[in-house]
Every structure is written in C-alpha cells, then in structure tokens.
Amino acid sequence: MMLRRFVTCAVSVILLAPGLVAQAPVSMTQATKAQFDEIKGYLSKTAQKVPDDLYSFKPTPAVRSLGQIIGHVADANFSICAAAAREKPPQSGFENGKTSKADLMKGLNDSIAYCDKVFASMDDKKGMETVKFFNGNQTPRLAVLAFNNSHCNEHYGNLVTYMRLKGIVPPSSEGGGM
C-alpha cells in the first residue's frame, strides 16, 4: 500500500514537473518565425533532393512543373516578405524565367534568406503595424508573414505529391525532424 502511494506520488511529480518550471513566453513573432523555419527547411531540402531531370516533371499538362512550383515559391517569398517589410521585392522571375535546378535552388535559398532578414527586423510591436497587402488591404505585418508560411506549406504539399509520384520520400517524412 505504501509503495503504491509512493509510486503514484512520484509519477504525479514527474508528470507535473514541466509545468512547474518557468518558461519564457514565446512571442507571436517567434512563433511565426519558428513555423517559417520548419517549412523553409523542407522546401530547401526538397529543392536539393529532387534530381535535375525531375524539375520539368508535371503530373498533368495543366499544372506547374516541379521546378515552376519551386520558382513560384521563391517569387512569392520575395514578394510577400517585401510587403511585410514595406519594400519592393529584391528579385523575381523565377517561376517563368528559370528552369535549371541550380538557378531555382539559388532563387529559393535567396528568397528564404530575404524572409529571414525581414523576420530578424520584426518584433511583436512592429508586427502589428499594418502594411498594404492583397488588393491594397491594410494587414498587420505578422499576418502577412503568417500568410507566407501558409503559402509555403500549400506548395510544399504539391511538391510532396510530385515526389511521391516519383518514388521520392519527402523531407518531412524522413524522420528525425529537420
């Protein structure tokens, strides 16, 4: 009986211990950046992992090629993160202007670095300032960056389908995190 009570108390302490340790609060900016960090890793690894000859792959003629999706994400990263920064996009033309794996990977990685720079200049106060976004609507900067995260995830989902069709395991399914 005494042993059972001890074990019950010990298990309760172990289960409750994480809640007893004070944790630093996570800001909205940090949380939004953490989500970008995850998806940018998957996108970058995808661009690296897919062989050159599959960059022109289209499951059907009516959709973008795998390379065009990567180019589209690069263009969108530049455009959307520039909107959050109240800047003009520093680069564009990847989706319809580049076809080689090297050029598209560089564009994607440059766009990720640009978005990282925008995040580095952001905090919650600045993130609540509004900027003109789609159709000239005033939108908080962090909401613009969160939209970029959603856009990246949407197109990573497309890329996952393309990779699965070609027997390639997507980075998010490889295990071990990023």
Query: And the tokens for 87?
Result: 């800047």
- Give the whole-angstrom CA distance, residue 162 versus residue 155: 11
Name the 3-class secondary structure at 88.
coil
Angle between helices 28-49 and 101-120 (to 10 degrees): 170
* Rounded Cα gap, residues 143 and 31, in angstroms: 12
DSSP label at 124? H
Residue 118 near residue 1, CB atoms below 8 Å: no
The domains of the chain are located at 29-167
pLDDT at 15: 45
Q: What number of other Cβ atoms are within 10 A of residue 173's Cβ?
A: 11
158: which 2 tokens? 């497309």
Query: 137, 124, 39, 37: which is closest to 83 by C-alpha?
Result: 137
Tokens 């792959």 correspond to what residue? 57
Q: Which two tokens stand for residue 168?
A: 């390639």
- Vertex 139: Cα angle to 136 and 140 (nearest 5): 150
pLDDT at 175: 73
pLDDT in tens, the chain (178 residues): 543 443 343 344 444 445 545 566 689 999 999 999 999 999 999 999 999 999 999 999 999 999 999 999 999 999 999 999 999 999 999 999 999 999 999 999 999 999 999 999 999 999 999 999 988 899 999 999 999 999 999 999 999 999 999 999 999 999 754 4
Nearest CA to 156 among 142, 176, 143, 172? Answer: 172
Say which CATH architecture domain 29-167 belongs to: Up-down Bundle (1.20)
Contact between 144 and 83 under an 8 Å Cβ cutoff? The reply is yes
